[in-house]
A = this chain, B = another copy of it.
Amino acid sequence: MQAGDDLAALIAPQVRAGDIVVIAQKVVSKAEGRIRPLAEVEPSAKAQRLADEFGKDARLVQVVLDESTEVMRASHGVLICETRHGYVCANAGVDLSNAADDDVAILLPEDPDASARRIRGAIGPRIGVVISDSFGRAWRIGVADVAIGAAGVQVLDDWRGRLDARGRELRATEIAIADQLASAADLARSKDSQEPVVVIRGAERYITDGDGPGAAAIRRPREIDLFR
């Protein structure tokens, strides 16, 4: 995958109406040219200090800082950042592994929901698109795939206020459908092969008529976030 490659055109022949396509963020970023050669990065004093502390490349740390609005934690060799999109993840989603060149940082898409909408628009209306990335979690070991972009799929299933047959509230919550779709897709992928796209068939009930609010709707607003 290279900048300018037409991802939708590559995916379209593999999908049919009713499918949900889950695309790994990295391939979307590459197609969109969201890369920064580290040779062109001039680390600031702050980046140099964090890099020295963590044994990292100061240029890479600078890229992470550039992609972040806030470094929430810097510990255990990890920078937990809020990205410019409002997602909270390690290293602001900036990645080096599997890049064509060790000296290139791969950034998250500029606007992953817009990326999802573009791909859906090019493939067809009865297709759902999720752009996924692997995020670590507070309190739990390991990463799970979540949605950072979405179009044409139900992102949250809101059960608040819905009552059961006995008139009691069923679940006082929303269900993170798009994140669960991303996680389900990851199970079908082998990480050491080049499988950036997974097609989920049989989940038509989560496909929506319009693009919908996108994965942006999953971001927990700062004022109702207990873990900043």
Binding site for B on A (CB under 8 A): 73, 75-76, 78, 80, 87-88, 97-98, 102, 134, 136-146, 156-157, 159, 162, 164, 168-177, 179-181, 183-184, 186-187, 191-192, 203, 206, 217-220, 224-227
- Chain A interface helix/strand/loop/mixed: mixed
> What are the residues of chain B within 8 A of A76 when measuring CB–CB?
224, 226
A sample of 17 more A-B contacts (CB under 8 A), given A134-B173, A184-B184, is A80-B226, A88-B139, A97-B168, A97-B170, A98-B170, A134-B171, A139-B220, A140-B179, A140-B219, A141-B220, A142-B173, A142-B175, A142-B218, A144-B179, A144-B180, A171-B191, A179-B183
Per assembly, the copies of the chain total: 2
4 residue pairs, one from A and one from B, having the closest CB atoms = A142-B176, A184-B184, A138-B227, A88-B139
Chain B residues within 8 Å of A226, by CB:
73, 75-76, 78, 80, 138
A225 touches B175 (CB 8 A): no
How far is B140's CA from A227's CA once the two chains are assembled, in angstroms?
11
Is the CB–CB distance between B184 and A180 below 8 Å? Answer: yes
Residues of B within 8 A of A98 (CB): 164, 168, 170
A146 nearest CB neighbor, chain B only = B140
Q: What is the minimal beta-carbon distance from A54 to any residue of chain B, in angstroms?
A: 12
Which of A139, A176, A217 counts the most chain B CB atoms within 10 A? Answer: A139
Q: Which of B88, B134, B164, B227 contacts A73 (CB 8 A)?
A: B227
Within the complex, the shortest CB–CB distance from A81 to chain B, in Å, comes to 11
Contact assessment for A156 and B141 in the assembled complex, using a CB-CB cutoff below 8 Å: yes
Contact: B180 with A219, CB < 8 Å?
A: no
Residues B143 and A217 in contact, CB atoms below 8 Å apart: no
A207 to chain B, nearest CB (A): 13
